[in-house]
Structure 1
Amino acid sequence: MELFKQMVVVGCRPNEITCSTLIGGLCKTGKLIVAIKFLEEMVNGNKEFGVICRPNIELNKEVSEALSLYREMISEGIRPDVITYSTLLIGFFLIANVKDAQNLVGEMQLNDAFPNSWTYSIVIDELCKNECVLEALEMFNALVNNTIAVSIEGLSSLIDGLCKTVKFETA
């Protein structure tokens, strides 16, 4: 975040790729709240990236706020990318809202933001963490049948989830 701030100070205007990379890194390192705040800054600024930041709120409200921002993006014609969706997915899973997370994956495809290997890894990992190992296995099998690559992290999460639910032969 410091480098991003320095870019703005010296007049180097970050583009969508810079912002998406930063959000992706924040999500991968588990800094969901910071990623959501940064996404808010992007949306509330000049529709590319802005400088407005909202105050801290508890996690359920934060995820609700992020979902509201997402809906606002859609209504204003801003097409969320896979990183935006992945951030929302992480939020839904953090508050154990598995159903909405699964619906969001379908919504991604309807909005032409197709999940990538990282997104599927998030979903498989979080389904396992939320005791939905069979759903994670179904997703994995569907991905393999459609020749979609699954990352080693997603596969490791699935194997871990299967082992924890004593499904050793399947693992």
Structure 2
Amino acid sequence: MMRATTAAASSSSLKFGYGSSRLGLRFGDVSTYTTIINGFLHQNREVKAVALFNKMLESGNCKPNVVTFGTLVKAPCMKGNNIAAIQLLKKMEEGACKPNVVIYNMIIDSLCKDTLVVDALHIFSEMISKGISPTVVTYNTLIHGVCKIGKWKEATRLLSEVVRKHILPNVPTFSVLADTLFKEGMVQEARNMFEMMIQSNIGPDTVTCNLLVDGLCKAEKVEYASTAMRLIQEMVERGFSADASTTELI
């Protein structure tokens, strides 16, 4: 299915479907209805899901909460319907139930998957302006997004921001950026990423170690190959078990 763009978000109607329904709220609480909505969505019965959601909006004592909205936002994000996801976000921002970082992360991820990084960064800035603090998941998503389109300088800027804000980076944070640097032929910078990872007491997994060893060996310089051997030795000393795929790369 073709993933939607955001260019026509302001002028396009919400395809996800806000419509009238004969469904009534006769039992249960917010959690119950959220579960039912989630079930409808899993069955691809979006009209039923949105109809029940609208009934919740109209009710006096069973208003949707952030989990209900999150359930609805997830559905268009999974299908790449960014227009619908952003319209739901705007609906939250205009109402009493405000979006949280989880909602923003889902939309940012969907946009980055479509390489709509400018739009993702705009949503990110909007989130910050509303006082919502990003998490390492937010930054990892953005770093991966900018790396996909070759903007490694923006990726390193985002990493610096992570460190400056005292957000603890994790393995994916370094792995994605190091992989991009290797592809750009920036071997020393990628190597520095790995060193920074070790200094931060973040233990690389097998995939990360293989990525770095492969990148160093492909540089076709003797000193890089010896560095790869040294890195494996350091990892073994730190308790990392190099598997057959790691040693085969050298």
Identify the residue that residue 41 of structure 2 maps to in structure 1. Answer: 5
Shift of 1:59: 5.6
Q: Which has the higher contact order (CA 8 A, sep 6+)?
A: 1
CA distance in 2 between counterparts of 1:138 and 1:127 reads: 10
Deviations 1:81-126 (A, max 9, x none): 1111111101111111111100101112223332112222222222
Q: Does 1:168 align with 2:225?
A: yes
Distance verdict in 2 for CA 1:68–1:161, change over 3 Å: same
Call closer, same or farther: CA 1:84–1:133 in 2, change over 3 Å.
Answer: same
Query: Which AA in structure 2 matches 1:5?
Result: L
Does residue 122 (structure 1) correspond to residue 179 (structure 2)? The answer is no
Taking a change above 3 Å as real, the CA distance of residues 4 and 77 of structure 1, as seen in their structure-2 partners, is farther
Describe the superposition over 1:133-158 as per-residue Cα deviations: whole angstroms up to 9, x where unpaired. 21111121122234221222221111
Q: Out of 169, 192, 198, which is 1:144 matched to?
A: 198
Q: Which has the larger radius of gyration?
A: 2
Does structure 2 conserve the Cα–Cα contact (< 8 Å) formed by 1:117 and 1:151?
yes
The answer on whether the counterparts of 1:92 and 1:101 sit within 8 Å (CA) in structure 2 is yes
The equivalent residue for 2:124 is 70
Gap runs ≥5 in structure 1: none
Is the 2:136–2:168 contact (alpha carbons within 8 Å) kept by the matching residues of 1?
yes
What amino acid does structure 1 have at the position aligned with 2:141?
T
State how 1:51-130 maps to structure 2 within 5 Å: 62-130=116-184
Superposed CA offset, 1:28-62 (max 9, x none):
xxx9x95x889857854441339xx8xx89966x1
> Residue 194 of structure 2 aligns to a residue in which SS?
helix
Per the TM alignment, residue 127 of structure 1 is displaced from its structure 2 partner at its CA by 2.0
Q: Does 1:155 align with 2:209?
A: yes
Aligned-partner residue type, residue 161 of structure 1: G
Structure 2, unaligned stretches of length 5 or more?
Answer: 1-37, 54-63, 93-97, 229-250
Q: What is the CA RMSD across the aligned residues, in angstroms? A: 3.9
2-structure distance, mates of 1:149, 1:74: 30
Q: Name the aligned partner's letter for residue 99 of structure 2.
A: K
